[in-house]
Chain A
Amino acid sequence: MAYHDDLLSLALSLVHTVPATQATLRRSVSSAYYAVFHLLIAEATSNWNIAGLRTALGRAYDHTTMKSASNRILDLREFPFTGEDPQAVASLRFVALTFTQLQEGRHFADYNLTEDLDPTDALNQVKSAEKVFSVWPSIRSHQIAQEYLVSLVVKRR
C-alpha cells in the first residue's frame, strides 16, 4: 500500500480504539490530515515522468501554500467554474474544504489541550478524509482537478 493509504488505515484504527483516549482521538485526526496531505502530493507528483524523482519533488509542497490554494477555489468570485460538470465541481470543493478543515483539525489535535476533542468530531474528520480518498478517483482526470493539484505547489505572487 502507498504511504497515504497506510496513514488512512492508521487513522481509522486509532479512531476506533477502545477505550478511546484523547491521545488516540488526537493522533487519529493528525494521521487523517497527513493521509490527505500525502494523497494530494502523490497525485500531483505522479504526473512527473521519472518515477524515482517523485518523492523528491513532493518535498516542494508545503502546508500553507496548499491551504491557500484550497481556500481560493472555494471562493465563487475567483473560481465560478462556469460550464464545468457540477458534480465534479462539488467533489473538488469537498476535497478542498476537507483539506482546510483537516489542517485546522490537526492543529487543534496536536497543540490545543484547552478543551477535549469530541469522539464524534474525531470520527467525522477521519471519515471525511476517507471520503476524500473515495471521491478523488472520480475527478482526478478532470482538468479542474489537475489545475488544483498544480495550484497546491505554486505560491501566489
Chain B
Amino acid sequence: MPNVRSGFIHQGRLDADIRRAVSKLGPEVVHVAYNVGEDSTGEPSIFFRIVLDDAAAREEALADTTSRIAAALFDKVRPIENWGLHPYFNFSSQSEQRTRRDPA
C-alpha cells in the first residue's frame, strides 16, 4: 500500500479505477502503467506512463492525442478530488519501448 504525505492509498481501489478508465481509451493506447510517489516539490502524485502506437506518436497529431488521453484519464480517475494525487503523464512510442527492452 503506497504511503504518500496525504496518507495511505487503497491500491486495489485505485487499480480498479484506473483499469476502468484505461478500458475506455482508444486503440492507439498500447499500454498504461503508473506509480504513486512524490513529485519534485514533494506533492503526492501519480505518474502515468503511457505507450502509444507509432502512428499516434506522429508529430502532427501528438499534442492533440496526448491531451485527449490525459483529459480522459483525468476526468475518469479524478486523481486530485478522489485520491489527493496530482497527475503527471509521460508518453512514449511502441518502437521506443522495443528499443529499450532490446538494446542490441
- A residues contacting B by CB (< 8 A) are 64, 67, 71, 74-77, 90, 93-94, 97-98, 100-101, 103-104, 107-108, 118-121, 123-124, 127-128, 130-131
Q: Are B67 and A119 in contact (CB under 8 A)?
A: no
Q: Are B80 and A124 in contact (CB under 8 A)?
A: no
Q: Which of B84-104 contact A (CB under 8 A)?
A: 86, 88-93, 96
Q: Known contacts A100-B86, A104-B40, A104-B88; is A120 also within 8 Å of B63 by CB? A: no
| Cβ of B41 under 8 Å from chain A | yes
Could you list 14 further interchain pairs (A-B, Cβ under 8 angstroms) beyond the known A71-B80, A108-B40, A124-B62? A76-B81, A94-B67, A103-B40, A104-B39, A104-B40, A104-B88, A118-B91, A120-B52, A120-B92, A121-B90, A121-B92, A124-B63, A128-B66, A128-B67
Q: Which of B67, B81, B89 has the most CB of A within 10 A?
A: B67
Q: Which of A67, A94, A98, A123 contacts B62 (CB 8 A)?
A: A123
Q: How large is the interface on B (under 10, 10 to 19, 20 to 34, 35 or more residues)?
A: 20 to 34
Q: Which of B63, B70, B86 contacts A71 (CB 8 A)?
A: B86
Q: Are B41 and A64 in contact (CB under 8 A)?
A: yes
Q: Are B41 and A127 in contact (CB under 8 A)?
A: no
Q: Which of A94, A104, A107, A118 contacts B92 (CB 8 A)?
A: A118
Q: Are B91 and A124 in contact (CB under 8 A)?
A: yes
- The closest CB in chain B to the CB of A16 belongs to B59
| Cβ of B74 under 8 Å from chain A | yes
Residues of B contacting A128 in the complex (Cβ-Cβ under 8 angstroms)? 63, 66-67
Residues of B contacting A90 in the complex (Cβ-Cβ under 8 angstroms)? 71
Residues of B contacting A127 in the complex (Cβ-Cβ under 8 angstroms)? 59, 62-63
